[in-house]
Structure 1
Amino acid sequence: MSAFTFPVISPSSVSSTNKDPVDPVALEQARAIVNKLKESKTRSSTLMEIGHQFGDIPPTANTYIIPKSSQKAAYDALPPAQRSALDRIHARVSTFASAQLSSLTDLRIPIPGGHAGHTVTPCKTAGCYAPGGRYPLPSSVIMTVATAKAAGCGTVVLASPRPKDITMAAAWVSGADVFVGVGGAQAIAAMAYGVEGDAAKSLVNGHCGIDMLAGPSEVLVICDETCSVPVVAADLIAQCEHDVVARAILVSDSRATIDSVISETERQLALLPEPNRSTAIAAYNSGFAVECEDMDECVKVSDVIAPEHLEVMCKGEEEVARKCRCYGGLFIGLNAAEVLGDYGCGPNHTLPTGGTGRYTGGLSVFSFLGIRTWIMMGKEKTKENRQMVEDTVIMARCEGLEGHARAAEKRL
């Protein structure tokens, strides 16, 4: 019996495949930890206690803060090639984020009787999280911290459990202001509610904004008979080795291509070293392929799934990609590998999962900005201003809000 299971399903079966990004059991576990920290009168000691309990903090350690000196020492100790790679990735991510920032500016336009507009202001403090589970993720450090710094956030707090040297080096390169060496729900709670004596205190006390709810990572590849089968297979495997719950999805209008990719993927999986192979096979077995009538149907299927990563490799790939509306990050063409996006082409790799790409994009410099509108009017009245006030009176009375109408009439 084959160790592989990668079913080919019809487009009509796709709608039932989306998963809730938040596991109910994990949610309850996280709730208990968050509430414990939220209600604690000595959050610093409670955070230390939880950090020791989950192995985030070594038993002999008396602080959860990773000092700048340790970050710098870790960076200096890296091989030159790794230091240079971190520097270049940071430069590319920062350049892209800065370019995004420059596309959005303060606005001021005339309105009857005055002016209106918006201001663009960064968050005072940003909390960034880099997972520290099966693999160290220095790329996530750069993606989050460098983007927040480019936005102009006053204080950037990074949290990551049991950080490896490469993670600490990435924090140094990215310019994290505070590095909290804990993870999980306790890290999120500490950054959201604050810890006495800690810079995280400046985060909103009681609640804060988040970028998105992150679930298992996923890739969807749209391809046809012109694609490179070995490349598609390699990209599916790259996604699968993230985690046993990662998802790889293949969508094509060619059954022969689907069969070829499945065969090649399973051949390449068998050659992957352990422990990556076992992880990748488990994830691969939860994936599937969708056989469609044509490229338009492939696009419809992709939009229903709204994948975190969407790769398009087919004839007229740019035109096909333009038709896609729901995804986290888009990769068009043979050489636009999703893994290049993971490691710093420029756009952020923190992307929506679990179908949330239907209504939101990924992390960007905009995630750390507040766009706030304003209206300013003096005592001078114009014909246009009077008409605007009269329109307000009419609409207020249509809605039955007499107090609104009278407030507007006071301006006549």
Structure 2
Amino acid sequence: MAIDEVAASAPTPIDRATLDSAREITESVRTGGEAALRSHAERLDGLAPGAPMVLGKEELARAAASVPEETLALLERVAGRIRAFALAQRGALTALEVAVPGGRAGHDVEPVAAAGCYAPGGRYPLPSSVLMTAVTARAGGVERVIVASPAPDPVTLAAAHVARADQFLCVGGAQAVAAMSYGVPGLVEPVALVVGPGNRWVTAAKQIVYGAVGIDLPAGPSELVVLADETANPDLIAADLLAQAEHDPDARPALITTDPTLPDRVETCLMRRLGELPTREVASAALAHGFVAVADSMEAALKAVDELAPEHLQLCVGDPRSAKASLKHFGAAFLGERSAEVFGDYGAGPNHVLPTGGAARYSGGLSVFTFLRVRTWLELDSVKETGEDARDLAELERLSGHARAAEARLGSS
């Protein structure tokens, strides 16, 4: 692909057919309750007839007790790193109080009351996404946390236990998003915020329920752009591209480079690695959605990256910090070949739920801030200056009631 064609190749928004399908599902769950949810779960998630759709803390604890000790210890270690990073972020946002004319103003920082955390599970079990979402919610102080994932295995349930989830909804897709958003009488209470990655139906459903609940960001099929120069190792690039490609047939791995010899060398490594990869069927389909572009300068390569605003950006260049400083739009950057994107996926600290489809232009990734509300307050002892300006500005806007409410307080200021 020519470097000037990269922007035009950017992923399109959710297609109309997927939106319409997700809308039908979410509306049927909203109006049909438990019966509708079970019908969708049996049809789409493989839920066995009569099987429980919701598990509580006791069931999660039993699942945790059933997995090998080393597996549980692994989940605890990863959760600890995610929690530590989230708590450090939380410490960066504190309550504020400042002087204003006539008094004080400020803000408080409070978590949402309840969050629904979605973790994909249709193709592979993803306990890492359970940890990324639910551990971060708890670090933010969320009181009630629900995890949803279809056909969960014991390790996924154990991850929910480690993350201190209150409930586990054994349902996936748009139907899970609807259940958490609208609630299901007698089964699930509605949450205030739905977060987590998923396929296009999950992404579409989050878009549909927004307004009834908050959402984090569009987090659809995975994207990776590797930006590389002549210093890059082609085999490591191939490994990173395949790591993203195996997520989903709709995943999008891409290479942008200033070295015209690199694509062929990466291709050789890709074919060798692909032949040995157990997930090669999925990865091959995703590779067909990707691209390679050669730029004649680093400036042109950086411009192409910014136009894509990729979810993941792997910087395999001689000076990755300088390259990062020149870029404005990406979900998460991985600086240098040691800092593989896979370490972000599996709990080095920062969250792996990231904006896709160009949403990095206006959104960052999931973080503890996602679960927090900044609420302002105002306390005035004297209203002369503020009151006169409020009255005069209201009169300019011809809002007499506003002007009179301000005027009513001026006599006592």
TM-score, with normalisation over the residues of structure 2? 0.91
1:207-238 CA distance string (max 9 Å, x none): 10000122221100111011111111110111
Is structure 2 residue 44 aligned with structure 1 residue 39?
Answer: no
1:91-133 CA distance string (max 9 Å, x none): 0001111111111111111100111111111010001111111
Contact 1:21/1:214 (<8 A) preserved: no
Residues 268 and 202 of structure 1, relative CA distance in 2, 3 Å threshold = closer
Q: Distance in 2 between matches of 1:234 and 1:329?
A: 18
The match for 2:171 is: 182
139, 156, 168: which one pairs with 2:145? Answer: 156
More moved, 283-292 vs 254-263: 254-263
Q: Distance in 1 between matches of 2:36 and 2:242?
A: 41
Contact 1:240/1:248 (<8 A) preserved: yes
Is structure 2 residue 300 aligned with structure 1 residue 297?
Answer: yes
1:321-353 CA distance string (max 9 Å, x none): 121111111100111010011010011100000
More moved, 315-324 vs 402-411: 402-411
Is structure 2 residue 238 aligned with structure 1 residue 240?
Answer: no
More moved, 68-77 vs 181-190: 68-77
Q: Distance in 1 between matches of 2:112 and 2:187?
A: 18
Is structure 2 residue 4 aligned with structure 1 residue 12?
Answer: yes
Q: Which runs of 5 or more residues in structure 1 are unaligned?
A: 1-8
Contact 1:193/1:203 (<8 A) preserved: no
The match for 2:99 is: 110
Contact 1:234/1:268 (<8 A) preserved: yes
The match for 2:196 is: none
The match for 2:232 is: 227
The match for 1:391 is: 389
Is structure 2 residue 54 aligned with structure 1 residue 49?
Answer: no
Contact 1:329/1:351 (<8 A) preserved: yes
Is structure 2 residue 67 aligned with structure 1 residue 78?
Answer: yes
User: Identity rate of aligned residues, in percent?
Assistant: 43
Give the letter aligned to residue 338 of structure 1. Answer: E
The match for 1:3 is: none
Aligned-partner SS, 2:272? helix
TM-score, with normalisation over the residues of structure 1? 0.91
Q: Distance in 1 between matches of 2:80 and 2:305?
A: 32
Residues 386 and 11 of structure 1, relative CA distance in 2, 3 Å threshold = farther
Q: Distance in 2 between matches of 1:117 and 1:325?
A: 30
Is structure 2 residue 215 aligned with structure 1 residue 210?
Answer: yes
Contact 1:224/1:252 (<8 A) preserved: yes
1:241-297 CA distance string (max 9 Å, x none): 111111111111111123322332223222323xx1121111112111121122222
The match for 2:205 is: none
Give the letter aligned to residue 276 of structure 2. Answer: L
**Following TM superposition, by how much is the alpha carbon of 1:12 offset from its aligned partner in structure 2, in angstroms?**
1.6
Give the letter aligned to residue 358 of structure 1. Answer: R
1:351-372 CA distance string (max 9 Å, x none): 0001101110111111111111
The match for 1:5 is: none
Alignment map for 1:344-383 (pairs within 5 Å): 344-378=347-381, 381=382
**Following TM superposition, by how much is the alpha carbon of 1:21 offset from its aligned partner in structure 2, in angstroms?**
4.2
Q: Distance in 2 between matches of 1:327 and 1:133?
A: 27
Give the letter aligned to residue 387 of structure 1. Answer: E
Runs of 4+ in 1 over 6 A off after TM superposition: none
Is structure 2 residue 89 aligned with structure 1 residue 100?
Answer: yes
Q: Distance in 2 between matches of 1:69 and 1:395?
A: 59
Q: Distance in 2 between matches of 1:163 and 1:100?
A: 30
Give the letter aligned to residue 171 of structure 1. Answer: A
266, 270, 280: which one pairs with 1:265? Answer: 270
**Following TM superposition, by how much is the alpha carbon of 1:56 offset from its aligned partner in structure 2, in angstroms?**
4.2
The match for 2:316 is: 313
Aligned-partner SS, 2:55? coil
More moved, 304-313 vs 79-88: 79-88
Residues 189 and 85 of structure 1, relative CA distance in 2, 3 Å threshold = same
Q: How many residues align?
A: 394
**Following TM superposition, by how much is the alpha carbon of 1:47 offset from its aligned partner in structure 2, in angstroms?**
2.0
More moved, 162-171 vs 19-28: 19-28
Residues 55 and 349 of structure 1, relative CA distance in 2, 3 Å threshold = closer
**Following TM superposition, by how much is the alpha carbon of 1:49 offset from its aligned partner in structure 2, in angstroms?**
2.9
Q: Distance in 1 between matches of 2:96 and 2:55?
A: 40
